[in-house]
Every structure is written in structure tokens, then in C-alpha cells.
Amino acid sequence: MLLLDNASGGPQKYLGVKVTSGFACESMAVAHADLGINSGTFDKFVSIAAGVLAAKPFSVGADDLGTIGTVLVSTKDDIVTDTTTTAEKACTAPAACAAAAGAGGAG
């Protein structure tokens, strides 16, 4: 959220570092370095995020969705570390996914 707020000119500042006192985000590359995220998984995440934002209760409009999408996609090179395949990876925690879907998640 800080990243989005910062990128869209909001008052919050995305610092890009982790500090020991107070809260600050790690860089996107550091936060996702060990996660083995590939291109297909990243794209799926962005499409789910867009779907959630477009739906109620958020009802984000097309212009704003475009802006948000551009911000999210701008992080792709930092987040995608697995270039061996572009196929979206299956969820490795199906119980947690089912619980999230049951709670109104994008499934």
C-alpha cells in the first residue's frame, strides 16, 4: 500500500528499506528474492488484484485500475526470480487458499 500511495502521489512514503525501529518495507527484490515467483504467477496475482479492486465494495474505476496496474507491473522485474518457466504455479497451501476463498477472497 505504501508503494501504491507513494507512486500515485499520496502522502505516504515507500522507503524501500527495512529499519529496526518503526515500520518500513523491504525492497521488492529483497522481500521476494527467495520465493521463486515466475512470470505467470506474477501476472495471475495482478489479474486477481485488479478483479478484487474492480468489484464491490471497492468499485475502482477503469482509469484508476490502469494506474494501479502500471504501478504493480513496474515491480515485476524485481519480484520475478524464476525464469525457468512462465507457467503459473499451483498453490502450495490449498487449505489456506480454500479458507481465504471461503472468507470472500478471489479464490
Binding stretches for ligand HEM (CB under 6 A): 3, 18, 25-26, 31-32, 35, 37, 41-42, 45-46, 72, 75, 79
Say which residues have a Cβ less than 8 Å from residue 85's Cβ, sequence separation at least 6: 38, 40
CB of 32 or CB of 54, closer to ligand HEM: 32
Q: How far is the CB of 47 from ligand HEM (least distance, A)?
A: 11
CB of 11 or CB of 73, closer to ligand HEM: 73
Q: How far is the CB of 102 from ligand HEM (least distance, A)?
A: 20
d(CA 81, CA 24): 23
- Pick the closest to residue 27 from 42, 11, 16 (CA basis): 16
CB of 32 or CB of 67, closer to ligand HEM: 32
Q: How far is the CB of 35 from ligand HEM (least distance, A)?
A: 5
Take residue 30 and report the three cell numbers written for it: 529483497
Whether cis (ω within 30° of 0) applies to the bond prior to 57 is yes
Radius of gyration in angstroms for the set of CA atoms belonging to the chain, rounded to a whole number: 15
Q: How far is the CB of 10 from ligand HEM (least distance, A)?
A: 15
